Amino acid sequence: MPNSTEPAPWIALAEILAVMPDVYRRLLDDHTPAANGCGRCRACTVPGTGSPGAVWPCSMHQLAVLARKIHDRPLRGRAE
């Protein structure tokens, strides 16, 4: 396990997302701070209300950032 403060299940999930750039890019596009400056995620809304719910950065954003980090990490022996 590399040095990280992320719990192991997050790493496993992020590694799966890392091979799906379309998915994590979409998450990064969607899970952004709400425009009204409330400090909450515009995608993680309160159910039934459509108003921003989760405090930003939300867990989905953090997961997508981790996936991007894994994707962009130089791999030894990668044929590129």
Q: Is 40 in the site for Zn ion (CB under 5 A)?
A: no
- The one-letter code for the residue type at 20 is M
**28 is written with which tokens?**
């990064």
63 near Zn ion, rule: CB under 5 A: no
CB count within 10 Å of CB 31 equals 22
How far is the C-alpha of 63 from the C-alpha of 9, rounded, in Å?
11
Binding flag, residue 27, Zn ion (CB under 5 A): no
Segment contacting Zn ion (CB under 5 A): 5-13, 15-23, 36-44, 72-80? 36-44
Binding site for Zn ion (CB under 5 A): 31, 41, 43-44, 58, 60
